Structure 1
Amino acid sequence: MQNRLLLDLVERAGWTGAQAALGLAVVELADVPVWWAAPVALALASAKSWVAGRLVGRPGTASTLPAAKDPATPPASPGLGA
């Protein structure tokens, strides 16, 4: 269980850092005030969550981790369906 939590933490921190960096890069390239980086990063986070919930990772979550590694996936119950 600890490994799943660590993977979840690393995934969230990594995506947050990437979205913040991309937000700053976009406002620098567009030559607009730096406060626009926050809404740009928010839009990137929303888009990532939408894609992750439908195309990547565990369906119905915003995680990009595979279902086997996602802490939100309930553990398998021994003896059921075996």
Structure 2
Amino acid sequence: MRSKLLLDLAERSGWTGVEAALGVAVTGLADIPIWWAAPIALLAAAAKSWVAGRLVGRPGTASTLPAAKDPATPPGLGA
């Protein structure tokens, strides 16, 4: 169970970093005020969650982890 928790933590932290970096990069490239980085990161997070819930990872969740690795998967379902 501990390895699933660490994997979940790494996934969440990694995606948050990517979304924040994307927000900062877009503001720099578009030459717009840096405060726009937060709404851009929010949109990136929402888009990632939508895609993850339908196309990647365990259906019905915002996780990109496969069902077997997702700690939210009830025992016996992720095999």
TM range (shorter): over 0.9
TM-score by length of 2: 0.96
Aligned residue-pair number: 77
Q: Who is 1:80 aligned against?
A: none
Paired residues for 1:1-80 under 5 Å: 1-76=1-76
Segments of structure 1 that go 5 or more residues without pairing to the other structure are 78-82
| Alignment root-mean-square deviation, CA | 1.0
Q: Which runs of 4+ in 1 moved over 4 A?
A: none
**Shift of the alpha carbon at 1:53?**
0.1
Identity %: 77
Task: Point out the structure with max Rg over C-alpha.
Answer: 1
Deviation of 1:35 (Å): 0.1
Deviation at 1:26, TM superposition (A): 0.2
- Output the TM-score relative to the length of structure 1: 0.92
